[in-house]
Structure 1
């Protein structure tokens, strides 16, 4: 039997961004990648001022210090760390914390568990960010209503709930049509930010002195009692930086760099400095400087534009959560979830109903529970800071193992990035009582789910392996003493190709017959985002009755077994779906009093396993060709 590596790439699925014009990719990157960080001016400067001076005394040095800290945070964290370094750590064109974890996991020989642990922690923190960001951004945008008319304050929360309900209810239809307007809307938004900020810089041009790092440093040195709190609020200006890396595969490195350096970064800087100059001449505008510096005639249009921008930013985070869930399922750190494709032409357009429902419920609870973006700001930030710290640690391994950098240079850069990350992370820890416990709680909950699934799956594999027989022994025995044969092909799905699949053993036991052709099929997830068709399968012939087939899919792909097996026809394997039966084991898991898992964790694992998507549907096997055989496993 020939090896499937000889198959030509008839349906190539390369990684990286789609082949579109650079301008379209830049516009798309602006709409999706820069959406989160692009809405930060609505609340970041306001919260930093309130953290430092409250609503009372206000000194010029305070404003200069806060603006300088915001500018250098954007410069160090986003421009230098993410744009120059992190974006280079792509996994065959894909980015994101799980993609980075898979890349590191592939290139380290020892301590693979540490790479997995860091990936789990980072993805758990990203989930916390995915919950808080939509609530925070949409709520802060709609709060502009109270500037228009104070009597509208009572409608802020209901209006926010309505917008979010509409947003989550539209996820099942996909974002293909909506994404066409994402880029243009965000371009208008950034231009509005830049023009508004540039106009108000002329209120007091001395604010430009805050470009000097000394103002930020002196603010921290001379205000040690409040500096840490202010730094935690300043971090709100860089939340969303992780999206630059997470969406690398959708747009590519160069369009993201151009979108940030040419449009997003300059407009954000202009707006922050404009807010600073406005406060210098209008100290009473500290309550909500972003909206208070908008001319009265443009206030309502600005609120509408800000709401659209925050909805787009929230959409990007929700889509990122869907993508992360799919990666987690493919990497087997979460049970199989129902994943629906919402576009026939764009593989990345997916909808995960269960994740969407959980996100919607948690986001609405936060909006109703906190009520104001100022209160919710305390909960926002720590998850992003933790994610950034994990990214730095994984990046260090990439520098050493993949880029082959000198250890001194790699360590020096990692130390510098880690100091900044730890500073922001520890500053946000001070806000635990005010709301940061929400982020930590959500991340911890996600971490417990992943840990439980990994631990339970490992125990299940061990128990199953003990009851299974070596494949070589059974194959030799069946060849020597062949049972009655029936025509056709039987494909037995298994996670361990060295052992006899449970479905095969039960089939022989109950039916006492053997198919003319038997395939032991194993599906593997590669550490790459996508696998080319020429690398999709490996086939080895054991004897005239049995063969081994291993199918490989990337962690960004949806497995399709029939389509992958269809490639085998080109090598002479007369694979015919109409004469093929798939045998799948359906496990019934029972609890064992001798388990090393505590009772609560066993119950949680059983619940997760019971809610997992059916293997037949997940692997897209025709249901009329599947035979399920039930087994019991005690864990």
Structure 2
């Protein structure tokens, strides 16, 4: 990667600068942030009145259901996310892990609570991966199912066509989001305008649907459903999928563009389209087979299908990119092993591609399509991951609002109680679909949580083992006998270690087997902090230890690019010169040896050992020069 990228990301991503005007950022937010929620009209109304809910397709239920959708968009998306949660930024960054770090900081004086909130936040992050699998599958399937309306004979080709589109989407990821990103905004903006226009055309024919603006109709609908309420709300929640993207993508565009895009275009267009579908069904109940596509005149179906497919692809792209960013954050916060990260832009530090994540997601998406076969079947799997994420977000936000912002306890509790009530109803409504597909994202999240918690705990056990069995570094240096003849290598030796207080195993190997001690010895530790970005002025910390030894600590935020050689060049300004072409990096590759009776249960220790063996190489991750690296194996018992 060129130097320009590293310089670029020194403190904040380039796209956060003032050189990007508000209009461009707002258009970009429309394309990336709102693609997911923008494709919900493809399938939401159809699912509300599907046989599984048992709702009668009559005027009262149509007005009531559309009213619930509208007021859910107001309360959950507008009030909770756009107005409140977008204020909870971690140095400008949003998303589940950013909110988790804020909540953990707010209660840092209470270690047990802090640990519990970290685990809760990590589980919320794992649910995002379920969304990243289901969103491409349901969005593209929902769009391509319009083929059946063009010609019923095309029905057998819906699944193959969907798979071709999805495979193509994941194959082009290596080209970077910038390759197609410039088209996102205009296409999705056209999509939302189309949603609004088609909605208006049918509202004009059945203006009675405008009664849905009255929240009393929503209340009557919810209060008269009995136990069918949960089935109905479980389908209505599909209109809210993608709300988390508002917060997750805040670092890319900023709070104001996201808020302007929502209020100025997205919310009006969604509301008009849902009302338009309700109006259509009032006059033509048979259109329930696919109310979205029946909004269009028959001659408009081909371009509508093309536009819907493009919108679905863009919605999928947004969550795929989000999965890359989430994984990178999780790696640098210590919850996942290192993986290859490719930076696909010399201008935008946040544009990355992760091959392992990409192909794992593609495999998950293909499995989801082949298992569920239709957008209706996938709808059962979709809601539970989204609503649980919303519930976790509400709980974490309480601690940020109360302990972090100092909001009075009564106000914080009242606001949290309102949103918790809504979230609990949504979760309960989706929980009844557990055996109809809801198990899929939960199983995926549970597997990922197991992997992430095992990796985090395992790394802590490794650090404890090295600390316990290691030799104190300062004592070692102080006891070096100058009378002993040792060959002094003239190059600078950089020993990368997790624990900077013990003697690196590679250094002991050099002394024992080669009888070599370098003239300059750097004990290097890389620390990732629970903030997104750290500037170059905070990058390097140097501590002289005497007799040719220095302890150097490099500090990175979890969104920074960890370019170690570039960071070490900054040491010269503090009096320590580390010449790039006269430096050798010594790395220890731990061979994990599980042992009974300590640490984790045996099968988790074995799982951790497998994860360690398959972790990405330190060389690539920290951008070390291949021709200046020596790796040595170290046996570590946990």
TM range (shorter): over 0.9
* Contact 1:52–1:226 (8 Å) recurs in 2: no
Cα-to-partner distance string for 1:4-33 (whole Å, 9 max, x where unaligned)? xxxxx9974225724311111111000000
Query: How far apart, in 2, do the equivalents of 1:300 and 1:171 lie?
Result: 27
Matched with 2:518 is: 515
Matched with 1:96 is: 95
What SS does the aligned partner of 1:522 have?
Answer: strand
Superposed displacement of residue 270, structure 1: 0.4
Matched with 1:146 is: 148
Query: How far apart, in 2, do the equivalents of 1:405 and 1:214 lie?
Result: 31
Cα-to-partner distance string for 1:434-456 (whole Å, 9 max, x where unaligned)? 11010111111111111211222
What SS does the aligned partner of 2:50 have?
Answer: helix
What SS does the aligned partner of 1:583 have?
Answer: strand
User: Within 5 Å, which residues of 2 pair with 1:234-633?
Assistant: 234-478=236-480, 484=486, 485-633=488-636
Query: How far apart, in 2, do the equivalents of 1:479 and 1:36 lie?
Result: 66
Query: How far apart, in 2, do the equivalents of 1:32 and 1:482 lie?
Result: 64
Matched with 1:3 is: none
* Contact 2:378–2:437 (8 Å) recurs in 1: yes
Query: How far apart, in 2, do the equivalents of 1:10 and 1:77 lie?
Result: 36
Structure 1 residue runs of 4+, over 6 Å off?
none
* Contact 2:46–2:289 (8 Å) recurs in 1: yes
* Contact 2:54–2:228 (8 Å) recurs in 1: no
Superposed displacement of residue 486, structure 1: 2.7
Structure 2, gaps ≥5 residues long: 1-6
* Contact 2:466–2:499 (8 Å) recurs in 1: no
Structure 1, gaps ≥5 residues long: 1-8
Matched with 2:29 is: 29
Query: How far apart, in 2, do the equivalents of 1:502 and 1:300 lie?
Result: 66
* Contact 1:335–1:612 (8 Å) recurs in 2: yes
Superposed displacement of residue 596, structure 1: 4.1
Query: How far apart, in 2, do the equivalents of 1:456 and 1:38 lie?
Result: 41
* Contact 2:565–2:623 (8 Å) recurs in 1: yes
Query: How far apart, in 2, do the equivalents of 1:328 and 1:107 lie?
Result: 20
Stretch of structure 1 that moved more, 529-538 or 624-633: 624-633
Cα-to-partner distance string for 1:264-312 (whole Å, 9 max, x where unaligned)? 0000000000111111111121111111121111111001000000000
Superposed displacement of residue 591, structure 1: 2.7
Query: How far apart, in 2, do the equivalents of 1:555 and 1:289 lie?
Result: 44
Matched with 1:129 is: 131
Matched with 2:58 is: 59
Superposed displacement of residue 526, structure 1: 1.1
What SS does the aligned partner of 2:429 have?
Answer: helix
* Contact 2:591–2:609 (8 Å) recurs in 1: no
- Paired residues in the alignment total 626
Query: How far apart, in 1, do the equivalents of 2:359 and 2:161 lie?
Result: 20
Matched with 2:190 is: 188
TM-score, length-scaled by structure 2: 0.96
Cα-to-partner distance string for 1:440-475 (whole Å, 9 max, x where unaligned)? 111111111112112222222222222101112101
Stretch of structure 1 that moved more, 462-471 or 264-273: 462-471
Cα-to-partner distance string for 1:340-373 (whole Å, 9 max, x where unaligned)? 1111111111111111111001101111111111
Query: How far apart, in 2, do the equivalents of 1:577 and 1:58 lie?
Result: 72
Query: How far apart, in 2, do the equivalents of 1:156 and 1:308 lie?
Result: 16
**Quick check: 1:77 aligned with 2:76?**
yes
* Contact 1:10–1:533 (8 Å) recurs in 2: no
Query: How far apart, in 1, do the equivalents of 2:53 and 2:93 lie?
Result: 43
* Contact 1:18–1:251 (8 Å) recurs in 2: no
Cα-to-partner distance string for 1:401-450 (whole Å, 9 max, x where unaligned)? 22111111111111111111111111100001111010111111111111
Superposed displacement of residue 53, structure 1: 5.9
Cα-to-partner distance string for 1:538-559 (whole Å, 9 max, x where unaligned)? 1111224111111011101221
Superposed displacement of residue 52, structure 1: 7.3
Query: How far apart, in 2, do the equivalents of 1:50 and 1:467 lie?
Result: 63
